[in-house]
Structure 1
Amino acid sequence: METEIAPLDMLLRLSVAAGLALFLGLERELRGKPAGLRSHMLVSLGSATFIMIGMSVLFATAEGDPSARIDPTRVVQGVVGGIGFLGAGSIIRSGGQIQGITTGASIWLAGAIGVSAGINNFYLAGMVTGLALVIMVMLGHFEREWVSTEQDR
């Protein structure tokens, strides 16, 4: 099957997806969370791959290949559902407290970064990564300080 995406462009998209997710995974890794660097990078890489597969099939459909009928939004739907399952798996209940929600959300977001990179929207992928890091690092620090201060009272 021919594709409209050149091999070097594919490599760039996959590298951007994995590279940006590295930052989210590194933040989780530094906090000792179970889903860290490799998990986030693999989720983003997989998401980019699936969306490029969908685009390849879409290009084949546009060229008249009758065996290739696909709605690319269904590919995104499948990716989101699968990643939601991974994210939910990172959320646990321990000692009456629920833990892992931020890690689950960051895994889900790594998928969105991968899809963005896969469709060649590097600006969106970069902005999402930057905003996610602000939320995870800066607001996480604020949240820890505020919660510990409130608990001390």
Structure 2
Amino acid sequence: MQSLATFHLGDMADTFVSLASAFVLGTVIGAERQYRQRTAGLRTNALIAVGAAAFVDLAMDINGNPGATQVLAYVVSGVGFLGAGVILKEGTNVRGLNTAATVWCSAAVGGCAGADRVAEAIVLTMFVLAVNTFLRPLVNFIERIPINEKAAEATYQVHVTVNQEMRDDVRDLLVEKLDAAAYPVREIEVLERGEDEVELIATLAPTSVDAGELDAITTALEEAPGVAYATWTSRTTD
């Protein structure tokens, strides 16, 4: 009987509008993800939006705006667990970050709808679609721009494969040439590469370099006695 006592046609209509709005907008966001064959597709985004709207709407019915505010805080953190489920790490590559962020935004859309902010939910949906659709050409353009080593912040290493007997001499030469080029060495690691060879890996302190200067240094090192091979590598610091 308590259910009949708490039933109000106006409140029910309000809840229906909130959930329907969340369903439609979540479906729109999910359709774009489904079209691109992402892990979290149409149904996932729709369910997240509807679920967030339901929690917020229920909290508003029970405790008004303070209740909705409290539930929204839990929705923001709780959806993070769902987002983590679509992030995949394959070696040094990480996939699914964009999809996880979209899932987070779907929850925000549902929260807006549940809080009776349907207009804000529609605007947010438009921005989510714009980010996932219209920014793609800009991303592709930026990725085609050649990397400028002088401007890029990264960790740079110089690798030298040398005869075991000449290890100390070549290490001193390596440090000397890098210091002369104003590239101080942060550390040098020595790896065994067989019975007679070792690899010296010098990690540079600077986070940006001149590629031509490092090429010249490795070329000079290859001409030193006992050196079989010399090169340099970089990896981004992010």
With the shorter chain as reference, the TM-score category is 0.7 to 0.9
Match of 2:145 among 126, 131, 150: 150
**CA 3–150 in structure 1, closer or farther in 2 if over 3 Å, else same:** farther
Higher relative contact order (CA 8 A, sep 6+): 1
Given residue 55 of structure 1, which amino acid in structure 2 is its aligned partner? M
Match of 2:99 among 80, 83, 103: 103
Q: CA deviation at 1:72?
A: 3.0
Q: Deviations over 1:88-133 (max 9, x none)?
A: 2111111311110110000000000001001111111011000111
Provide the TM-score with structure 1 as the length reference.
0.83
Given residue 121 of structure 2, which amino acid in structure 1 is its aligned partner? A
**CA contact 2:49–2:109 (8 Å) conserved in 1:** yes
Identity of aligned residues (%): 30
Match of 1:9 among 11, 14, 17: 14
SS of the aligned residue for 1:98 comes to strand
Matches within 5 A, 1:60-139: 71-139=67-135
Partner of 1:28: 33
**CA contact 1:3–1:56 (8 Å) conserved in 2:** no
Q: CA deviation at 1:82?
A: 1.2
Q: Distance in 2 between matches of 1:34 and 1:53?
A: 29
Q: Distance in 1 between matches of 2:13 and 2:137?
A: 39
User: Which segment drifts farther, 106-115 or 18-27?
Assistant: 18-27
**CA contact 2:57–2:68 (8 Å) conserved in 1:** no
**CA 7–53 in structure 1, closer or farther in 2 if over 3 Å, else same:** same
RMSD between aligned residues: 2.0
Q: CA deviation at 1:143?
A: 1.1
**CA contact 2:88–2:96 (8 Å) conserved in 1:** yes
Unaligned 5+ segments in structure 1 are 60-69
Q: Distance in 1 between matches of 2:141 and 2:27?
A: 26
Unaligned 5+ segments in structure 2 are 147-238
User: Which segment drifts farther, 2-11 or 132-141?
Assistant: 2-11
Greater Rg, structure 1 or structure 2?
2
Q: Distance in 2 between matches of 1:140 and 1:86?
A: 24
Q: Distance in 1 between matches of 2:47 and 2:137?
A: 26
> Higher helix fraction: Structure 1 or Structure 2?
1
Provide the TM-score with structure 2 as the length reference.
0.55
Q: Distance in 2 between matches of 1:86 and 1:135?
A: 21
Partner of 2:53: 48
> Higher strand fraction: Structure 1 or Structure 2?
2
Given residue 118 of structure 2, which amino acid in structure 1 is its aligned partner? F
Q: CA deviation at 1:145?
A: 4.3
**CA contact 1:91–1:101 (8 Å) conserved in 2:** yes
